[in-house]
Structure 1
Amino acid sequence: MSFLGAQEIEEYLRDLSHGEISVTGRLVDASNATLYASCEVKERTLICIYKPIAGERPLWDFPDGTLANREYLTFLVSHWLGLHLVPPTVLRDGPYGTGMVQLWIDIDENVDLMEFFKEDNPELRNIALLDLITNNTDRKIGHLIPTSEGAVYGCDHGVTFHTEDKLRTVLWQWAKQPFSPAELELLQLARMLIATEKRDVVLGLIEEEELDATVDRIDRALAEKCFPEPNPDWPAVPWPPF
Structure 2
Amino acid sequence: MSATDLMASELTLTGRIRTASNATFLGSIGDALVVYKPIDGETPLWDFPDGCLAHREVAAFRVSEALGWGVVPHTWLRDGPLGEGMVQLWQEQDPDQSAVDLVEAEHAPETGWKHVLQGQDDKGRMVTLVHEDSSALRRMAVFDLIVNNADRKGDHILAMADGHRYGVDHGLTFHRKHKLRTVLWGWLGEALTAEELEGIDCVSEGLQGELGRDLAELLTDEEITSLAERCAALRSEARFPAPPAGMPAVPWPLF
Q: Same fold (TM over 0.5)?
A: yes
Task: Give distance in 2, aligned partners of 1:108 and 1:12.
Answer: 26
- The share of aligned pairs that are identical, in percent, is 44
Provide TM-score, normalisation by structure 1.
0.90
Structure 1 residue 197: deviation in Å?
3.9
Distance 2:52 2:136 in 1: 28
Q: CA RMSD in A?
A: 1.5
- Structure 1 residue matching 2:93: 3-state secondary structure: coil
For structure 1, the 5+ residue unaligned runs are 1-10
Distance 1:75 1:170, change over 3 A: same
Q: CA deviation at 1:187?
A: 0.9
Whether 1:61 aligns to 2:47 is yes
User: C-alpha separation between the residues in 2 aligned to 1:27 and 1:12?
Assistant: 26
Taking structure 1 as reference, are residues 12 and 168 closer, same or farther at Cα in structure 2, changes over 3 Å only? farther
* Counterpart residue number, 1:100: 86
Deviation, structure 1 residue 233 = 2.1
For residues 175-223 of structure 1, what are the alpha-carbon distances to aligned partners after superposition, in whole Å with 9 as ceiling and x for unaligned? Answer: 1111112211111111111244422211100000000011111111111
Compare the two structures and name the one with the higher strand fraction: 2
User: Paired residue for 1:36?
Assistant: 26
Q: Supply the AA of the counterpart residue of 2:27.
A: A
Q: Deviations over 1:116-153 (max 9, x none)?
A: 86111110101001111111000000000011122110
| Mapping of residues 157-168 of structure 1, within 5 Å | 157-168=170-181
> Cα 1:64–1:190, aligned 2, differ >3 Å: closer, same or farther?
closer
Aligned residue among 59, 63, 83 for 1:73: 59
Q: Distance in 2 between matches of 1:192 and 1:50?
A: 31
- Deviation, 1:18, is 2.1
- Distance in 1 between residues matched to 2:43 and 2:161, nearest whole Å: 33
Count of residue pairs the alignment pairs up: 228
Q: From 113, 116, 119, give the equivalent of 2:132.
A: 119
Greater helix share, structure number: 1
Identify which of 217, 221, 224 aligns with 1:204. 217
- The residue that corresponds to 1:171 in the other structure is 184
Using structure 2 for the length normalisation, give the TM-score: 0.85
CA separation in 1, counterparts of 2:187 and 2:5?
37
Task: Confirm or deny that 1:25 pairs with 2:15.
Answer: yes
**What whole-Å deviation, never above 9, does each CA across 1:58-82 have from its counterpart, x for those lacking one?**
0011126510011001111111221
- 1:47 maps onto 2:37 in alignment: no
Superposed CA deviations along residues 19-76 of structure 1, whole A, max 9, x for unmatched, are 2101111110100001111112xxxx11110000000000011126510011001111
8 Å CA contact 1:144–1:154 kept in 2: the answer is yes
CA gap of 1:156–1:230, structure 2 versus 1, over 3 A, is same
Unaligned residue ranges in structure 2 (runs of 5+): 103-112, 114-129
SS in 1 for 2:32: strand
Paired residues of 1:195 and 1:211 also in contact (CA < 8 A): no
**Matched-pair contact (CA < 8 Å) for 2:151–2:172:** yes
Larger Rg: 2
